[in-house]
Structure 1
C-alpha cells in the first residue's frame, strides 16, 4: 500500500510537538551527563543549569515556532510527508514521558522516594513543612507507595505501544494531576513542580488527540435498557440527590458551630487551694497540667507534658458550654471520676481567659494564653 501522506493537523499541534521534542532532548542530555559524568556534574553550579536551560529554551522556542510554521505551510504541498513527522515527534513524546514517570515509579518501589528520615521523626507535626508532611504521609505505608509505583510503571509501559497509548495516558493523567496539586499546595520543590506540569501537559495532549473517540465512549448512550419514565420528577430527583448530600453535612455544621474556645491553650499560671502549683512534677503527676487542647465537636484534652502531646498520659473529655452562665460542663473520660466538672470562665478576650473549678476537694484556678494563630 502507498504511504498515507495526506494527514492534516493544526499549527498548534506542530508547535507543541516541536517544543516537547526540545524538552525531551534537554532532559535526556541532562540525564546522560549526570549519569556518565557524575564527578564533573556534581561540582557544577546549579544556577548555571537554569541559565543554560533558559538560554537554550529561548532559542528552541523560536526554532519551534519557525519550523512549525514551515511545516504547516509545506503540509499543503503534495508529496510532503507530514504523517511521518507526527509519528516521530509523538513517539519521542510517548517514550520520554514513559521513561520519566517510570523512574518515579521505580523510586517508590526501591525506596529512594518517600524514604524515612529519622531526624524528622522527632519534629512536631505542626513544625513540618508541606514537603515533609507529604513525604511522611506517603512514606508511612510501603505497600501504598508500591501500588502508586506500579501504577506509574504500568501506565508507562502502555505508553510505549500505540495500541495501549490512550489507556496508559488515562491511567497516568489522574495520578499526575494529583501530583501537580500536591506540588502547588504543599510547596514541593520547583523542579518537581515543573516536571509534573510537563508530564501532565504531554499526557493531556495525547488524550486530546483521541478526543473524537473518547466522546463516543464517555457521552454516547451505549446501553440498551429501556428508559425509566418519571416525567417531570426525574430532573427534580437529580437535583435533590446532590442537594440532600450537601444538606446531610450542612445540618451538622449548623447544629455544632465552631466554638470560640477552640485551639491550643497554654496554662501560664495554676493555683491549687490558693497556692501556686509550679507543676515541676509533671512527669509523674498527670494533673500537673500545662496545656489544654479544645477541639471541635465538644472534645478537649488536658496535657501535663509542656513540650509534646502524649496521648497515653493526657486526660480526655467532652464539654458543653452554657453561654448565659459562662460555664463549661466537662466530663473526663479517663479521670478518677465521671461526674460533671463545672468550670467558670472569666476574663475571656479571645487570646486569654481564666478558669475556676472545683475538682474533688481542690479549688483550682488556671490562667490560659492561646498559642499560635
Structure 2
C-alpha cells in the first residue's frame, strides 16, 4: 500500500479507504457517550437507534467519499499539503482503536466481560448457545482473561505513538482476527461481530502502510546460515512436503486401524431394559444406578452407562472402554469398576439396535435408539 510523502501522491482509493475509516472512527467516538445513558432511555428510544445508526453510517461514508475526491483533486493541482491530512486521519484511526480495544481489555480485568449468568450454569450443555459457551469458557479462568486484556491494553498503548504503531498492530491483529472468528462461528451478537471486523480492517490498513518494510523483513530477508547440501532442490521440497503429509497420514492410519471406534459413537436412549427376564420400570433409575437410561459411546474416549435421562453424573454412572467387532456384532465393555459386559448387538442399524449380554450375574436385554444432539 502507498504511504504518504511529500514527493509521492497517493491514489484516490487510498484516500477513500483512509477517509472512510477515519469517518467511522469519528462516528464511534461521537456515539461513545451514549453508553452512559440510563437503561430507561434505551427502553424508550432504542427502537429508533437502528435507523439513526444506519443513517449516520451512510452519511459518514458519503462524506468520506466526497472529501477524498475533493482532496485528490486539490492534490493534483498541488494546492494541498497531503502529508498533514494523512497524519490527522491516521491519528484519528489510531486513537480510536486504542480507546475501543483497550476498553475491552479493561472489561476483562474489571470482570464486566465473560461473566456467565447463574441460570446458564443449570442448563444442559447441549442447550447452551455459542455465546453462552464462549462466555463460560473464557470466564472460567480469570488469569487467562487478564492476560488477553493486558495484550489488548498494551497493544492499544503502543498505537498511541507513531514509533510503536507497527508493533502495536502486530500484537493486536492476531487477537482481533481470533475474536472475529469466534464472533462469527459461535454466533456472538451482530454488533460485536461488526465491531470486531471494523477494528480488524483498521489494523490491516495500518499494517499495510508498512508493506515494503514488511516484505523486506518477512520475504526478502534470507537467513545467513550456510546452505545445507542435499543434492537437487526437489529433495528439499519433497522433505518439506513429507513432514506435513506425515502429520495427516499418521492420524489417518490410526483411524483405519480402529475403524469400529466410530460405528457406535454417539448417545443412545434405552427404550426398554430387561434385567434377568424382568422389564425395568421407566422410574427405576431414581433408586437403582444400574437402571440405565442413556448409553454413551465416545470412540477413543470410551463409554458410559448412565441412569439419569436428564443429566450425566460420572459418580452414578458406569465408565469404561470398549471393543466392538462389527463383523460378528460382538461388544465387550471393560468397566473401570473391573466388571465386564460381553454382549451381542442384534438388529443393528444406524438408528436402533438391541444389546443382549451378561454383566456379572445379570443377563441384560436393552433396546437402544440413537439420539441426535
TM-score normalised to the size of structure 2?
0.93
Structure 1 counterpart of 2:262: 259
Which residue matches 2:58?
58
Q: CA deviation at 1:14?
A: 0.9
Aligned partner of residue 239 in structure 2, secondary structure:
helix
Distance across 1 between alignment mates of 2:51 and 2:150: 35
2:24 is aligned with 1:23: yes
Deviation (angstroms), 1:279:
5.9
Quote the residue 1:87 is aligned against: 87
Deviation, structure 1 residue 19: 1.2
**Aligned partners of 2:130 and 2:187 also within 8 Å:** yes
Aligned partner of 1:287 in structure 2 is: 290
The CA RMSD over aligned residues, in Å, is: 1.8
For residues 82 and 347 of structure 2, the distance between their equivalents in structure 1, rounded to whole angstroms, comes to: 79
Q: Confirm or deny that 1:325 pairs with 2:328.
A: yes
String of CA shifts for 1:273-329, please: whole Å, max 9, x gaps: 211112645345321211100111272110112221101221112222223322212
Q: 1:130 & 1:261 partners in 2: Cα distance?
A: 27
Q: Is the 8 A contact 1:5 1:82 kept in 2?
A: yes
- Equivalences for 1:5-84 in 2 at 5 Å? 5-35=6-36, 37-38=37-38, 41-84=41-84
Find the aligned partners of 1:217 and 1:298 in 2 and give their Cα distance: 45
The equivalences for 1:141-290 within 5 A come to 141-232=141-232, 233-257=235-259, 258-278=261-281, 280-290=283-293
Q: Deviations over 1:175-196 (max 9, x none)?
A: 0000000111000000000000
Check conservation: 2:23, 2:60, Cα contact below 8 A: yes
Consecutive unaligned residues in structure 1, runs of 5 or more: none
Q: Is the 8 A contact 1:108 1:149 kept in 2?
A: yes
Q: In proportion to residue count, which structure has more helix?
A: 2
CA spacing shift, 1:216–1:152, aligned 2, 3 Å: same
Alignment deviations for residues 136-189 of structure 1 (CA, whole Å, 9 cap, x no partner): 100010000000000000000000000000000010000000000011100000
- 2 CA distance for matches of 1:346 and 1:39? 61
* SS class of match (2:285): coil
Is the 8 Å Cα contact of residues 341 and 360 (structure 2) preserved in structure 1? Answer: no
- Could you list the per-position Cα deviations for residues 57-95 of structure 1 after superposition, in whole angstroms to 9, with x for gaps in the alignment? 223322222221111121122341101000000000000
Against the structure 1 CA distance between its residues 357 and 156, is the aligned structure 2 distance closer, same or farther, given a 3 Å change threshold? Answer: same
Of stretches 185-194 and 9-18 in structure 1, the one that deviates more from structure 2 is 9-18
Secondary structure, aligned partner of 2:316: coil
TM-score, length-normalised on structure 1? Answer: 0.93
1:238 Cα deviation after fit: 1.3
Shift of the 298–343 alpha-carbon distance from structure 1 to 2, 3 Å rule, reads: farther
**1:365 maps onto 2:365 in alignment:** yes
Count of residues in correspondence between the two structures: 366
Judge which range, 234-243 or 57-66, deviates more.
57-66
**Partner deviation per Cα, 1:322-364 (whole Å, 9 max, x = no partner):** 23322212211125x3xx4321111223222111112223221
